[in-house]
Amino acid sequence: MSNLVSYYQCSNILELGTSLGITTAYLASAREHVNVSTIEACPQISKIALETFAKLNIDNVTLHNKPFDEVLPELYKKKSIFDFIFIDGNHTKEATIRYFNQCLKLSHKESIIVLDDIYLTQEMNQAWTEIVANENVAISIDIYKFGIVFLKQGIVKQHFTIRY
Ligand SMILES: C[S@@+](CC[C@H](N)C(=O)[O-])C[C@H]1O[C@@H](n2cnc3c(N)ncnc32)[C@H](O)[C@@H]1O
């Protein structure tokens, strides 16, 4: 994940689902001049994540301790735009598609969106299939553990499945 951020020189990053902040820490350390916004509804988990960031001297993370459905509209109202978005929480089909559509409003034409656990359940796989077909998606890559979506405009829609 952090390699993608580094390779594509992403600066503004959004993570849905902080948990203990492990991936957040990697994203925040991917390159210089990165700002990470991360969302975690559980106060106890958020507290541990914040302690982890402090221990690691990570000061470029903003943790929103609220549900995704509250924070995403707030970010939209503030006109926040992200280069890289990692969706990793509330793994139901309906919620995943809804978050994806909300994240589209927080994206620009070169943004990258990563969805974790696309084979976790049949529902998650159905959500991934719908997202791949979304008209805003130019390139989608299925690497089994997660799916990567490029919103790049002006290129022929393509889907790749990486087998390893
Ligand atoms: C799979 S974990 C995230 C793992 C983390 N991204 C990582 O890679 O280490 C999902 C997290 O999302 C949080 N979560 C689930 N649904 C949520 C919601 N609707 N709003 C905010 N947080 C939520 C859970 O409390 C959980 O900590």
Query: Tens digit of pLDDT for each residue in 7-48?
Result: 999 999 999 999 999 999 999 999 999 999 999 999 999 999
Task: Retrieve residue 147's tokens.
Answer: 């799916």
Give the Å distance between the CA of 156 and the centre of ligand 1. 33
Task: Retrieve residue 99's tokens.
Answer: 């978050």
Is the pLDDT score of 137 beyond 90?
yes
Give the Å distance between the CA of 45 and the centre of ligand 1. 9
Nearest CA to ligand 1 atom 11: 17
Nearest CA to ligand 1 atom 20: 67
Q: Is the CB of 65 under 6 A from ligand 1?
A: no
pTM reported for the whole predicted model: 0.97
Q: Which pLDDT band holds residue 102 (cuts at 50, 70, 90)?
A: very high
- Tell me what pLDDT residue 1 has: 87
What is the position in ligand 1's atom list of the atom closest to the CA of 117? 1
CB-side neighbour CA atoms (13 Å) of 91: 15
Residues 45-79: tens digit of each pLDDT: 999 999 999 999 999 999 999 999 999 999 999 99
Domain range for 118 is 2-161
Give the Å distance between the CA of 63 and the centre of ligand 1. 12
Give the Å distance between the CA of 20 and the centre of ligand 1. 9
Q: Is the CB of 22 under 6 A from ligand 1?
A: yes
Give me the number of domains the chain comprises: 1
Residue 19 is given by DSSP the state T
Average pLDDT in the chain: 96
Q: Collect all residues with Cβ–Cβ distance below 8 Å to 87 and sequence separation of at least 6.
A: 16, 17, 96, 99, 100, 103, 113, 114, 115, 116
- C-alpha 92/C-alpha 19 separation (Å) is 17
Q: What is the CATH number of the domain that holds 17?
A: 3.40.50.150
Give the Å distance between the CA of 121 and the centre of ligand 1. 16
- C-alpha 19/C-alpha 23 separation (Å) is 9
